[in-house]
Structure 1
């Protein structure tokens, strides 16, 4: 397996709006990020993935871009951004920017021109269609609810928006558009950035003719996923992007790809494919979603989670590359989701972090994860800001669902769980801002904050710091093979990693009860030479690694030479 810097790196995602505010307007900004770079250096991270800071009307918190080459004034100026890049590089931290090119904002100059007339040179930069029988061109549903089409009076046609109405989809069939995007990518790479995280990049190729999607339940709109996810020209587009741009730089690339399988991921990330380095898959993020999708919350099923992650660990080993994550700006806080965020918050956060960081792939830490930040429960829907959440609430109320039942889903899965401001200290607004924060701070900030964590050697922060150091010191962690143990066990998560004559045994107890681990017959642990690499409770050196009892939410990693 080829060794590469991005395989051995740990990435930290910054959601700039919520990270640190330097000027008291309640919105995180670039100078705020600069002020906290020493903190990131102390944690030991190698790469920052920065969510969008480009010009945007903020309909979808910056994922609706009106100017790809300028910085949003709320976040600062290009001079601030250049200072930030320099300060990151000075500390040995690389910068990966968000690339959002499935859609732009409807306030982008291209779209303003595009909607003027059917003959406008920018018309073909977007996907315009005539209506069908007085209705939308097809029955596709937007990811954010409702129709994926919006009628425009100016030319009497509809444009496609797979997300918000203010996020019209770009037409990748148009070579001129693609050329403009590649030029924009070079603009940022030439400024010195180290790569791109590509937003819903597997949506850019749509099935020709944009046919209706099957709609067996007769809903107003149907999921068109099979017509715009992993579409017919996707590999051609990514190979062209690689040839024209990415191959000319030492850049790290990760594609956000809902609905991708390990077999497809191998095509996207294979060593000889000349597309991307790795993908974000979502399969493990749907483990607690029922038939009704994300908001249809079902109980957490550990054997199912193990099955999914094992499929990815073994499916891409030696063929492609995994991204490892529990959290991001679109996902709830993992300690509240799969852990115990009250009595065993610290133990379960450490355990979940270990299970992820000991796997093969590039780990991503989302801001506040290293502190064990939790989900939030705002009293009223009026306290929420996220467009997906607000649209869903409105739709479900219209369908006659009880508001308290809808709120229960939001408390579990809403995107604002991840977006509450970063908890820096115990002062007002958690030290995030001197003003009024754009989104309320989680009330538990007095107990859970960075200042307290850094002072406490037993904190989640220091534990994550250790996890990051271990990856740098042990090639078995990025490069070893993976074997799941006790796949059907309802509460134990155990696996073995193997590489060049060494083995790691990783065992976590995903429960509030004690649990017993017994190594299978064919697994022989070298008891004489074993050592504990990391654990979240004290472990007796003499204790056997073949069979041991685990406390609630305990995790242990043993390292030993293979027998």
Structure 2
């Protein structure tokens, strides 16, 4: 298999607003990140993915950018950024920036000009349409609820926004716009950054006939996703971006691609396709979704999780590459979602980490995951900050589709703010995140769960992650071996093997709070077995029959 540095790497995502505040204004910042680089170096990660730090009015916490080549005042200055880049590189840590070019902020200079008149040279940098029969041009629903079209009386037309109305979509059909984006990307790469994570990048090509979407029973709006996800010119745009920019640098590129299948992912990431290194898919994150998507948070089955992850492991095993993740700034905390964040928080956090880090692909760790941070349950909706959560609450409760209690329960399980509470550094006030009042409340469990405590306990989740990261560097089978699922029908155990030449890894994970028997399938033969990592202590190398403790994980090297 072709060796590439990003295949051997482990990425750590920083959501700057909630990571570490250096000046007491309650908002995380770049100097705060610099102060914690030694901590990340100790953990052993290779790459920091930095969520947006660009100039922004913060309608969607920085994913609405008003200047792509400047830094948000709250986060610091470009000098601070340059210092961060140098300090990270000095420790052997690379920096991957978040690239948000499906949309900009409505306060970006391009949009200010675009909306000023129909004949402005930048009019076509965005997507404008006249109304249809006194209504919006299409019936599509926006990601944050409501219509994707916003009427603008200055020119008596509507502009498209797939997200918030403060996030107008850029018009990738316009070659001048594309050229501006490529120049901006080169500017950052010439500064020395090491790659891009590209926000909802498979939305940039739209079906320019703009047909109405199908309306589900009981819904006001239509589903436009067939007309903007993986659109007609998407691969043409990527290949052009690769030719103009990406191919000229030795960097990591990952596309956030909702709704993508393994077959489509191969088109984005295949070795001879000249597009991206890898993509983020969302199938496993949709487990338990119901009629209102994640807000109808229902039960999920382990067999379903296995089916999804196995489909991705097998689908990209010959060509393409997987991104491995449980958490990010848009997802709830994994130990609360798929583990047991009460009685077996430590054990289940380690088990979930084991399952993911032993798979083929590049693992992503989200800030606080390495100490087992959990979901939060604020008492009132007023304590939440996330635009998606607030809009969904207002719509679903306001229209009587869900009671307040049902909606709050769904928010506790799935809101994006679960990932956005401040990182818990120590047990002092506000968890050592800030000396001021934080922009969003700290999870009250910070006195028990914090990195200072984790660093003092050799058996903590932190050191377990550290070991998982070092194992990936020591054993090429973890990077390059072939994945095969075993015990496919078990609702209790997720087990699989990784194989390379005459070596095998056996990964066994108990997903329950019960003691569960594991019997080695007959087709797995070996002479020697050695335990590589485990979340309970055992000396036993007998793998024929194991009584797995609650949330137990073991990895054996077989030869």
TM-score under structure 1 normalisation? 0.98
Match of 2:444 in 1: 443
Structure 1 residues 37 and 274: alpha-carbon distance in aligned structure 2, compared to 1, 3 A threshold? same
What corresponds to 1:111 in structure 2? 111
How many angstroms apart in 2 are the aligned matches of 1:137 and 1:406?
Answer: 31
Residue aligning to 1:518: 519
- Would you say the 8 A contact 1:524–1:546 is kept in 2? no
> 1:294 aligns to what SS in structure 2?
coil
Q: Which residue number corresponds to residue 195 of structure 2? A: 195
Q: Report deviation, 1:219.
A: 2.5
Shift of 1:218: 6.1
Deviations 1:480-504 (A, max 9, x none): 1000001110110000000122100
Instruction: Summarize the Cα distance change of 1:322–1:308 in structure 2 as closer, same or farther, 3 Å threshold.
Output: same
Superposition pairs of residues 385-534 of structure 1, within 5 angstroms: 385-400=385-400, 401-526=402-527, 529-534=528-533
Unaligned runs of 5+ in 2: none
Shift of 1:544: 1.5
Query: Do structure 1's residue 539 and structure 2's residue 538 form an aligned pair?
Result: yes
Measured in 1, the distance between the counterparts of 2:77 and 2:46 equals: 25
2:354 corresponds in structure 1 to 354
Q: Deviations over 1:402-452 (max 9, x none)?
A: 101100000000000000000000000000000000000000000100001
String of CA shifts for 1:173-204, please: whole Å, max 9, x gaps.
00000000000000000000000000000000
2:534 & 2:300 partners in 1: Cα distance? 24
Q: Please state whether the residue corresponding to 1:297 is helix, strand or coil.
A: coil
d(CA) in 1 for partners of 2:351, 2:446? 22
Distance in structure 1 (CA, Å) of the matches to 2:311 and 2:292? 24
Partner in structure 1 of residue 249 of structure 2 = 249
Alignment partner, residue 4 of structure 2 = 4
* In structure 2, distance between residues paired with 1:192 and 1:323: 23
**Contact 1:50–1:95 under 8 Å retained in 2:** yes
State the distance in 2 between where 1:488 and 1:118 align: 60
Residue 300 (structure 1) shift: 2.5
Distance 1:291 1:395 in 2: 14
Aligned-partner SS, 2:294: strand
1:463 to partner: Cα distance: 0.3
How far has the Cα of 1:216 moved from its partner?
4.4
Question: CA RMSD of the aligned region, Å?
Answer: 0.7
1:74 corresponds in structure 2 to: 74
| 1:289 matched residue in structure 2 | 289
Contact 1:13 / 1:49 at 8 angstroms: preserved in 2? yes
Q: How does 1:42-441 map to 2 (within 5 A)?
A: 42-217=42-217, 219-400=219-400, 401-441=402-442
Distance 2:254 2:14 in 1: 15
Q: CA deviation at 1:539?
A: 1.4
Of 528, 552, 563, 2:550 maps to 552
SS in 2 for 1:373: coil
1:291 and 1:213 map into 2 onto residues whose CA distance is 17
**1:540 offset after TM fit, Å?**
2.4
Separation (CA, whole Å) in 2 of partners of 1:158 and 1:85: 41
Distance 1:277 1:120 in 2: 37
Distance in 2 separating the partners of 1:288 and 1:216: 19
CA contact (8 A) 1:357 1:363 kept: yes
The 1-side partners of 2:215 and 2:344 are apart by: 44
C-alpha separation in 2, matches of 1:332 and 1:216: 27
Within 2, Cα distance between the matches of 1:325 and 1:275? 21
Give the drift of 1:208: 1.9
